[in-house]
Structure 1
Amino acid sequence: MLFPAVLVLPVIPVAAEEAQPADNRETIVVTGRGLEETPSEPAYDTVTIERKRIMSSASGRVEDVLSTVAGFQQFRRSDSRSSNPSAQGVTLRSLGGNASTRAMVMLDGVPMVDPFFGYVPLPALAPDRLQRITVTRGGGSGPFGAGALAGAIELESADAATLGLVSGSAAVNQRGESELTGNIAPQLGSGFAVLSGRWDRGEGFYTTPQDERVPATARARYDSWSVGGRVVMPLSGDVELQARAMAFDDHRTLRFKGADSTSSGQDASLRIVGRGDWQFDVLGFAQWRDFSNIVVSSTRFVPVLDQRKTPSRGIGGKIEIRPPVGPDHVLRIGADYRRVSGTMYEDAYNAMTGAVTARRHAGGRNSDIGLFVEDAWTLGPVVLTGGLRADRTTISGGHFVERNPAGTVVVSNDFDSRSDWTVTWRAGGVYHASSALALRAAAYSGIRLPTLNELYRPFTVFPITTKANAGLRNEKLVGYEIGIDATPAEGVTLSFTAFDNKVKHAITNVSDPIVPNLRQRQNLPAIKARGVELGAAVVRGPFRFDGSLAWTDAEMVGRGASADLDGKRPAQSPRWAMNGTITYTPAPGWTLAATLRHIGKQYESDLETDVLPAATTVDAFAEMPLVRGFSAFVRGENLLDETVVTRNADGSVDLGTPRTLWIGVRLAH
Structure 2
Amino acid sequence: MLTAVPLLIIAAPVVAQDCEWPVRDPDDQATYGCVRRFDDYPVKINQKDIVVTGALAETKSDSSYPISQITLGGNITRIENALAQAAGLQQFRRSDARSANPTSQGITLRGLGGNASSRAQLLLDDVPQADPFGGWISWPGYDTLQLASVRIRRGAGQVAAGTGALAGVVELDSLQNMDRITGAAYFGSRNSADAKAAILQSLGAGSISVSGSFTRGDGFIPIKEGQRGAVDRPAAYEQGGIAIRAVAPLSANTELQANMRAFTDDRDRGFDFSDNQNSGVDASLRVVNRTPGGWQWSALGYVQVRQFANRFGAIGAGRNSVSLTLDQFSVPSTGLGTRIEVRPPLGDSAELRVGADWRRTVGETNENFFFTGLTPGRNRRAGGGSDTVGLFTEASLDLTDMLTLTAGARADHWRIADGFRKEVNIGGSVRSDDRFSDRSGWEGTGRAGIVWRSTDIFKVRGAAYLAWRLPTLNELYRPFRVGADATAANELLAPERLRGAEIGADFEKGGVTLSGTIFANRLNNAIANVGLSNGPGNFPGVGFVGAGGVFRQRRNLDAIDSKGLEIEAAYTVNLFWVRASYAFVDAQVKASGNAALLDGLRPAQVPRHFANLGIGYDGAKVRADLSGRFVSGQFEDDVNSRHLGGAFTIDGGLHYRLGTKIELELRGENLFDAQVDAAIAADGVIERAMPRTIWVGIALDF
Confirm or deny that 1:101 pairs with 2:118. Answer: yes
Gaps (5+ residues) in structure 1?
Answer: 20-26
Query: What is the aligned partner in structure 2 of residue 434 from structure 1?
Result: 455
Amino acid across the alignment from 1:440: R
Match of 1:178 among 181, 187, 193: 193
Alignment partners' CA distance in 2, 1:364 and 1:528: 31
CA contact (8 A) 1:4 1:249 kept: no
Other structure's SS at 1:345 match: strand
Other-structure match for 2:681: 649
Counterpart secondary structure, 1:143: helix
Residue in structure 2 matched with residue 510 of structure 1 by the alignment: 530
**Residue pair 1:526, 1:556 contacting (<8 A) in 2 also:** yes
Of 77, 88, 91 in structure 1, the residue corresponding to residue 105 of structure 2 is 88
The one-letter code matched in structure 1 to 2:664 is A
Is residue 491 from structure 1 mapped to residue 511 from structure 2 by the alignment?
yes
In 2, Cα distance between the equivalents of 1:350 and 1:435? 67
Task: Give 1:588 shift.
Answer: 2.4
Greater Cα offset, 40-49 or 382-391: 40-49
CA distance in 2, matches of 1:241, 1:4: 28
Q: Does 1:54 align with 2:75?
A: no
Which letter does structure 2 place at the counterpart of 1:236?
A: S
Alignment of 1:514-663 (within 5 A): 517-585=550-618, 587-627=619-659, 629-650=661-682, 651-663=684-696
Secondary structure of 2:322's aligned partner: coil
How far has the Cα of 1:174 moved from its partner? 2.6
1:112-131 alignment, distance < 5 Å: 112-131=129-148
Q: Spell out, residue by residue over 1:453-488, the C-alpha distance to the aligned partner (whole angstroms, 9 max, x if none).
A: 10011112121111110000000111100001013x
Q: Does 1:384 align with 2:405?
A: yes
Residues 313, 483 of structure 2: 8 Å contact kept:
no
Q: Secondary structure at the match of 1:310?
A: strand
Which secondary structure state, in structure 2, belongs to the residue aligned with residue 241 of structure 1? strand
**1:220 corresponds to:** 235
Deviation at 1:31, TM superposition (A): 4.9
Q: Determine the structure 2 residue equivalent to 1:415.
A: 436
Between Structure 1 and Structure 2, how many residues are aligned?
650
Distance 1:551 1:628, change over 3 A: closer
CA contact (8 A) 1:12 1:32 kept: no
Helix, strand or coil: the match of 2:462?
A: strand
Deviations 1:314-350 (A, max 9, x none): 0001100001122211100000110000011001142
Segment drifting more, 492-501 vs 398-407: 398-407
1:504: Cα distance to partner? 0.6
Quote the Cα distance in structure 1 between the aligned partners of 2:157 and 2:681. 34
Deviations 1:359-402 (A, max 9, x none): 01100001111100110112222111001100001111110000
SS at the partner of 2:54? coil
Structure 2 counterpart of 1:446, from 444, 456, 467: 467
Structure 1 SS opposite 2:98? coil
CA distance in 1, matches of 2:328, 2:425: 16
* Deviation for aligned residue 1:12: 14
Q: Summarize the alignment of residues 188-587 of structure 1 with structure 2, pairs less than 5 Å apart.
A: 188-276=203-291, 277-299=294-316, 300-351=321-372, 353-379=373-399, 380-487=401-508, 489-512=509-532, 517-585=550-618, 587=619
**Counterparts of 1:166 and 1:141, CA distance in 2:** 37
Distance 1:205 1:232 in 2: 42
Query: 1:627, CA displacement in angstroms?
Result: 3.4
2:63 counterpart SS class:
helix
Q: 2:572 & 2:526 partners in 1: Cα distance?
A: 41
- CA drift of 1:538 comes to 0.4
Cα deviation for residue 128 of structure 1 reads: 2.7
Question: CA–CA distance in 2 between the matches of 1:381 and 1:552?
Answer: 31
C-alpha deviation, 1:160, in angstroms: 4.3
- Residue 96 of structure 2: which of 79, 95, 100 is its match? 79
SS across alignment from 2:190: coil
Aligned amino acid, residue 129 of structure 1 = Q
Cα-to-partner distance string for 1:172-215 (whole Å, 9 max, x where unaligned)? 01321100000001111110011000000111111012223233
Deviations 1:32-81 (A, max 9, x none): 411000011020111122xxx21337x52001110000010000000000
1:155 aligns with 2:181: no
Secondary structure of the residue aligned to 1:96 is coil
- Amino acid in structure 2 at the alignment position of 1:663: V
2: CA distance between counterparts of 1:354 and 1:661? 39
The whole-number CA distance in structure 2 between the counterparts of 1:3 and 1:220 is: 21
Aligned letter for 1:503? L
CA–CA separation in structure 1 for the residues paired with 2:266 and 2:621: 35
Contact 1:458 1:466 in 2 (8 A): yes
Which residue of the partner structure matches residue 38 of structure 2? none
The 2-side partners of 1:137 and 1:13 are apart by 22
Structure 1 residue matching 2:680: 3-state secondary structure: strand
Contact 1:147 1:447 in 2 (8 A): yes
Distance 2:196 2:23 in 1: 20
Q: Distance in 2 between matches of 1:568 and 1:166?
A: 53
Greater mean deviation of Cα atoms: 574-583 or 302-311: 302-311
CA distance in 2 between partners of 1:635 and 1:589 (Å)? 16
Deviation at 1:117, TM superposition (A): 1.0
Distance 2:500 2:68 in 1: 18
SS where residue 66 of structure 1 aligns? Answer: helix
Preserved CA contact (<8 Å) 1:5 1:228: no
Counterpart of 1:185 in 2: which secondary structure? strand
8 Å CA contact 1:264, 1:289 repeated in 2: yes
Q: Pick which of 67-76 and 538-547 moved more.
A: 538-547
Distance 1:428 1:154, change over 3 A: same
Q: Contact 2:157–2:445 (CA<8 Å) still a contact in 1?
A: no
Structure 1 residue aligned with 2:40: none
Q: CA–CA distance in 1 between the matches of 2:212 and 2:187? A: 17
> Structure 1: how far apart are the matches of 2:654 and 2:52?
31
State how far apart, in whole Å, the 1-side matches of 2:534 and 2:311 are: 29
Q: Report if aligned partners of 2:224, 2:685 keep a CA contact under 8 Å in 1.
A: no
Alignment partners' CA distance in 2, 1:42 and 1:137? 12
C-alpha distance in structure 1 between counterparts of 2:649 and 2:366, whole Å:
40
Once structures 1 and 2 are overlaid, which stretch shifts more, 448-457 or 129-138?
129-138
The 3-state SS of whatever aligns with 1:98 is coil
Where 1:205 maps in the other structure, the secondary structure is: coil
Is the Cα contact below 8 Å between 1:612 and 1:648 reproduced in 2? yes
**TM-score, normalised by the number of residues in structure 1:** 0.94
- Contact 2:177/2:206 (CA < 8 Å) preserved in 1? no
Could you list the runs of 5+ residues in structure 2 that have no partner in the other structure? 9-18, 32-47, 536-548
Q: In the alignment, is the contact (CA less than 8 A) between 1:12 and 1:159 conserved in 2?
A: no
**How far is 1:306 from its partner?**
0.9
Q: CA RMSD in A?
A: 2.3
Question: What CA distance in whole angstroms lies between the structure 1 residues aligned with 2:658 and 2:382?
Answer: 55
Give the secondary structure class of the aligned counterpart of 1:37. Answer: coil
Q: Give the aligned partner of residue 24 of structure 1.
A: none
| Cα contact 2:462–2:503 (8 A) shared by 1 | yes
Query: TM-score, with normalisation over the residues of structure 2?
Result: 0.90
